[in-house]
Amino acid sequence: MVLALPFLLGLLVALPFGGRLRALGHVRFRWLGLAYVALALQIVAFPGKSLPWSTPDGVAIALWLASDLVLLAVVVRNLRLTGMWLVASGLALNLVAVVANGGHMPALPSALANAGLHYHRELNSVAMAHPTLPWLVDRWAAPHWIPLANIFSVGDVAIALGGLVVALAVSGARIPWLRPRAVIS
């Protein structure tokens, strides 16, 4: 969701600036099948309460790390798209935070409280008062009026900004500071 909502917002913002939804059909996103594999790995790792299985913690961590590495590879393969370097940076920052803290993304208790969340461990996140690399962990709470509001990290911010910029670029929006490059190939 960190990437999907900003991408959709970027498409909406693009329209008054000459962006065209039709332009999305001309974008060649490389290794798209691997992105679906990464999503499937995350669903297997963290099925939540709606699916009929649970995954042991060690297996879930391995699957999540594998899915993040696959996603990072897909994003790096698509760096020719304007803004994708932001997405890659955010994924890498989150991956560093997770690896440095034993395979779960730490969440500062203050961020959890500000978001109205109360848990010690939920899916891929764990409450941690003193994590390693604290500036990279989930440390802020999104406002409640944002759909699916949650806690987020600096990596999530980079991913979200990247999704917004990619959407503006691939739609062909004419924004002075945005120079789309290699969106079609």
What pLDDT is attached to residue 124? Answer: 80
pTM tops 0.85, yes or no: yes
User: What's the pLDDT at 19?
Assistant: 94
Closest CA to 150 of 159, 135, 138: 138
Report pLDDT digits (tens) over 66-118: 999 999 999 999 999 999 999 999 999 999 999 999 999 999 999 988 888 77
pLDDT score, position 178: 67
Give the alpha-carbon dihedral of 147, 142, 117, 132, to 10 degrees.
130
Q: Assign 179 a pLDDT band (cuts: 50, 70, 90).
A: low
Residues 6+ apart with CB under 8 A from 96: 133, 136
Q: Which amino acid is at 52?
A: P
Name residues whose C-beta falls within 8 Å of residue 66's C-beta, 6 or more positions apart in sequence: 41
Most confident of 9-23, 115-129, 146-160: 9-23
> Residue 185 pLDDT > 50, yes or no?
no
User: What percent of the chain is predicted at pLDDT more than 90?
Assistant: 74
Q: Quote the CA–CA distance of 183 and 166 in Å, as a whole number.
A: 9
